[in-house]
Structure 1
């Protein structure tokens, strides 16, 4: 039995990046042998075991054979005669197909990355030096999830390029309909991880280059080539603007719901009638409607879906909000449910800041609307609603009449605070 550290842990150590999860491959063993040593079997589709002490994953070396479309259509063969090189051949990228013997790895995961101990049959170290994302073998085309993974790695390793032959292979897979067989949960998982990388725009650029974006997110793909008013958007192209907004969200270290809201806030601009371009009157409502389809199709989590809806509907009003009177200010706070969900409203404001600064030449501009709206919310929250309600009840008022008095008190608080025009 031989044990090897493989995949991202080796790659990241080579690059000098912080270590993540460690994955191990076991060669020359059977499930029974690992169980006898106290390992716990957890794999459903192929033999994976948890170490009895560290609880790290150990997988038996295996090969795979394509049996059906999609990423689940595989027959797995794991046996003592499967070699390490055969196991590495089924991996996605050469930079992820490097292994290190277990006895060369310390408990912290450190090892001599330039030593002869590294097993690198597919040139992963050279591709790390050359900063290239390259598929290992033609087995790459059997798993469409790898298209998403390559795009995600492009967003993480921002100075790496996708090898021309790998991009061509990805296009062939898209043309063959492999992407169409992906299940929504897996698509969302990879998109969400890519959105959280250091330069998420690169993920969408790669997906667009290979044709996968038009299959997975046609509402987003349609934004390229859609013009905008140059006085508001010097970058003009809506798709270009969208990528700048995403990268601004990464720069501001926004959480996932904010980044998803940034991705989907302008979907409606692709449906603006040609005779009114480059103006996009009413695109907010159209964006919110298109967003519903995206969220249903990809089964987007509730927190991401709800925030994206608020941003899609209200980002234009939030941008203009410093011109609002007290009543209009409160109506927006109520539409956003800001009084009940202040953190979600704060996230919406962050997404709007990303939108405002995600424009050519405006990356370092101030966004005074964000502190303005937070102060307006604080003013509305300062009203002691229970006191207003008690006084109203003492006068014999009920239901909507009490609500009207609370509303009026909040409008007065906004006007008195100077937070409304």
Structure 2
């Protein structure tokens, strides 16, 4: 019986990166031997155990055989006779197929260290094509390892293999929950655009998120979007969100805010009148299909609908601003409204050559929100006891008056600064 650290822990250590979790593979052992040493079984499909003290995962060396489409269609086989190399050959990428024993000696049968040094994602064997989740994982790794000195590219033969997997329909067999899991994790990496670029190149993005894929090749007015291509713009937007360290819901909303531009009349391009309204249905459909959590879904819908209004907000009347707050449930959920402003900020700064422009709408609408929230709805309601039909309108008017005061003050301050 011998144990090895495998996978990401070895990879990240060789790259000089922090190691978060350590996975182990055990050679020459049986489940009974693991139990006798105090390990706790947790694996359902194959024997995985938790160490009695460290609680790190220890998996018995195994082989596998493809039996059905999708990532669940496998039969696993564990046996004390399974070798370390037989276990490593089933792994996805050469950089994840390196093992280290307790003395620090590396086992690297597929030249993973060389690919680490060159910055290459390369599949270990033809077994890669049996699991479509590996396409998503590789794309996620591309988002993580995207900045020098750890900027990785996909080996041509691996990209060709992924394309053939997509064409064979393997990606279509993925369950929504697993797709969302990988997409959401990739969005939280340092350069999410790389994930979508890899998925688009192999054809998987068109199958998984066709609404997003449709944005490439759609032009925008060069005066406001020097990058012109809407798909390119979206990638700049989501990378800006990552650079700011924004939360997952904000990054997801930034990603989907312009979906409607892919469905406007090409005869009107590069203009996209009404794309905000069109985007609402597209965002809802995508979120339902991928079973996106409600916090991400709701913020994405709000942003798709109102990011244009955020941009125009300083030209709006107080009543229109109040209606926007109410439409977005900002009085009950003010933080979510502020998150929409951040997603809209990403839209502003995700423009090639216009990264240093100003976006005062965030501070402006924050002041508008605070002014509206300062109205004591209970006190207003007390003035209309016995007249419940008048209370809602009275509160609305009070909020409009509060907004009008703060917007006038801001306008006067700007005039004074000239």
Shared fold (TM-score, shorter chain, > 0.5): yes
Q: Secondary structure at the match of 1:169?
A: helix
Give the equivalent residue in structure 2 for 1:89.
89
Match of 2:233 among 237, 241, 250: 241
Give yes or no for the alignment of 1:138 onto 2:130.
no
Conserved 8 A contact 1:228-1:279: yes
Mapping 1:214-225, distance limit 5 Å: 214-225=206-217
Give the equivalent residue in structure 1 for 2:395.
406
Q: Secondary structure at the match of 2:76?
A: strand
Q: Secondary structure at the match of 2:228?
A: coil
Match of 2:113 among 125, 148, 151: 125
Q: Tell me how many residue pairs correspond in the alignment.
A: 406
Report Cα offsets for 1:363-417 as digits up to 9, x if no partner.
2333211111111100000111111111221xx321x310111111111111112
Mind listing any 5+ residue stretches in structure 1 that lack a counterpart?
Answer: 105-110, 112-116
| Structure 2: distance between partners of 1:418 and 1:364 | 25
Mapping 1:111-260, distance limit 5 Å: 117-158=105-146, 159-260=151-252
Report Cα offsets for 1:32-53 as digits up to 9, x if no partner.
1101111111101111111111
Conserved 8 A contact 1:284-1:316: yes
Q: Secondary structure at the match of 2:21?
A: coil
Displacement after TM superposition at 1:339 (Å): 1.2
Give the equivalent residue in structure 2 for 1:58.
58
Conserved 8 A contact 1:248-1:363: no
Q: Secondary structure at the match of 1:340?
A: coil
| Structure 1: distance between partners of 2:123 and 2:355 | 35
Displacement after TM superposition at 1:277 (Å): 1.2
Mind listing any 5+ residue stretches in structure 2 that lack a counterpart?
Answer: 412-418
Conserved 8 A contact 1:207-1:213: yes
Displacement after TM superposition at 1:297 (Å): 0.6
Displacement after TM superposition at 1:233 (Å): 1.1
Q: Secondary structure at the match of 2:245?
A: coil
Mapping 1:322-341, distance limit 5 Å: 322-341=314-333
Match of 2:387 among 393, 397, 406: 397
TM-score (norm 2): 0.96
| Structure 2: distance between partners of 1:98 and 1:357 | 41
| Structure 1: distance between partners of 2:68 and 2:364 | 55
| Structure 2: distance between partners of 1:273 and 1:137 | 46
Q: Secondary structure at the match of 1:4?
A: strand
Displacement after TM superposition at 1:15 (Å): 0.6
For the aligned residue pairs, the C-alpha RMSD in angstroms reads: 1.0
Give the equivalent residue in structure 2 for 1:42.
42
Conserved 8 A contact 1:6-1:97: yes
